[in-house]
Amino acid sequence: MTNIIEMRGITKRFGAVTANQNISLGIPANTIHAIIGENGAGKSTIMKILYGFYTADEGEIVIDGVARAIRNPHDAITLEIGMVHQHFMLVPPMTVLENIVLGAEPGHLLKLDVKTAERKIRKLSDDFGFALDPHALVANLSVGQQQRVEVLKALYRGARILILDEPTAVLTPPEVEEFFKILRRMREQGKTIIIITHKLNEVLALSDDVTVMRDGQVVGNVATRDTNAAELARMMVGRDVLLHVEKPVARPQNAVLEVNNLKLGTALNDVSFNIRAGEIVGIAGVEGNGQTELIEVLAGLQRAASGTLKLNGNDIAKLSARQLKELGVAHIPEDRHQRGLLLDFDLSDNAMLGTHYRAPAAAASGLLDRAAIAAKTENLIRDYDVRPPNAALPARALSGGNQQKLIIGREIGREFDLQPKLLLVSQPTRGVDIGAIEFIHRKLVELRDTGVAILLVSAELEEVLSLADRLLVMYQGRIVGEVDPATVSQEELGLMMTGSKR
């Protein structure tokens, strides 16, 4: 096929760090092309160069056989290139239509032509099966619907080349299937789609071709039909990767956490369960059925309306997040940017969050012991393979997977002298590559085997089925069943998650 895009000899440096090194790749027209690699491999950077967020230090970009200068996103949009980012750029109080036309308003300054915009949006929505109401508030939409708004924004501006960065990271399995149908329909109607992802099963199910990156370079280009998950993982990481969790049989002991009749508005309705030392209890459910509120109540970030919470037999219902941390409750939040990190602070500052008031982070004088913090952070970075290994970098300079490893190291590592007894972990591998997933899963199993009680919430069914020793299912704020993850089928689990079976 004819390549609609060719990137030749692209190199991009950020100070002493080379993000892309002499990258050359071609993308055929009217295909779905996957770009995969570990976090920090340079795949988002190369696509941001194509979209004009960054300018390459060396190399050229050829679109439709003609070398083009893409200095900013406006240049890319003029060339009919659109990009949907992993973290959506929508204004929640505004409508779907208002978000889509923002910056490309029809009509003139004194009078916007809203009717023309609405007709165009409805036609695009119908053509590609988006099923969106132009007058709906974005704040009231599901995550999957918000993503469709982002795609419609690009199509409204005339995109025929669409770049999607981790497009399924926040979608439920049904939303993923529906989104794939939309992407295939777009390909049939002449669009070229580039997907940046780490989910190998989705790459194999959706794409036509795959480019594999490692350490800022292209290490392989293959037709999807000629490869498999094990080969792709080996190319990404440079070694064989365990694609399934290997763990010994759990040996649970005494109950660490006991939850009884927990209620919180309409989010939690009479929730009761327990977690024992040395086991992982998973919670499966479509997002928005109370999992977030449950974790936040247990972490001390919200106060339940009623019910009892006991940690090792002691009432903890009214304790603050700091008091719970002192008792050994660790929390890995579902949104690492909102709850987990201070993005403009360096890695040392982020590594001591939650323990900054006590030794070893704080000296006897009450001031921060910067030397101790630096030494502890260096150990954490080494033990949890955080890349690049530079404690002076701001957290936002790390890829999503390395941000996640930093949070996990802070919460379950012992560098800052807090020993977890209960770990609350939500979406531990969201937006994380295959090598980091293997690493995180191994750390969770190791922690379990030291006697820590773990509550795991994940939208990835394969993850909860492979990690959990017991599996609870939540629907509309209730626990609707407990199943054995070793024997339950995904079909049965899906019925429970949608309330069809208890």
pLDDT in tens, 361-386: 999 888 999 999 999 999 999 999 89
Please return the burial class of 211, using the count of CB atoms within 10 Å of its CB with bins 0-12, 13-18 and 19+. Answer: buried
What rounded mean pLDDT belongs to the chain?
A: 92
The domain limits of the chain are 3-237, 242-328+419-502, 339-417
Sequence-ordered list of residues with C-beta below 8 angstroms from that of 222, at least 6 positions apart, any chain = 209, 210, 212, 231, 232
Amino acid at 409: G
- To 5 degrees, how large is the angle CA 223–CA 227–CA 229? 130
pLDDT in tens, 268-291: 999 999 999 999 999 998 878 999
Q: Which helix (H) or strand (E) holds 149?
A: helix 143-156
The C-alpha atoms of residue 102 and residue 116 are separated, in whole angstroms, by 14
Per the listing, tokens 């304790």 go with: 319
413 by DSSP, 3-state: which?
coil
The C-alpha atoms of residue 452 and residue 351 are separated, in whole angstroms, by 21
Give yes or no for residue 403 having a pLDDT over 70.
yes
Q: Which CATH class is domain 242-328+419-502?
A: alpha beta
Give yes or no for residue 57 having a pLDDT over 80.
yes
Closest CA relative to residue 388, chosen from 21, 23, 40, 11: 40
pTM: 0.75
pLDDT cut 90: percent of the chain above it:
72
| Range of weakest confidence among 36-45, 46-55, 208-217, 364-373 | 36-45
Give yes or no for residue 433 having a pLDDT over 70.
yes
Q: Which residue has the higher pLDDT, 179 or 144?
A: 179
Give yes or no for residue 10 having a pLDDT over 80.
yes
CA distances from 455 to 38, 44, 160, 348, 427 (A): 27, 32, 44, 27, 11
Give pLDDT, residue 1.
Answer: 61
pLDDT in tens, 112-129: 788 989 999 999 999 888
Q: Which CATH class is domain 3-237?
A: alpha beta
pLDDT in tens, 471-500: 999 999 999 999 999 999 877 888 898 888
Token output for 487: 């024997």
Give yes or no for residue 155 having a pLDDT over 80.
yes
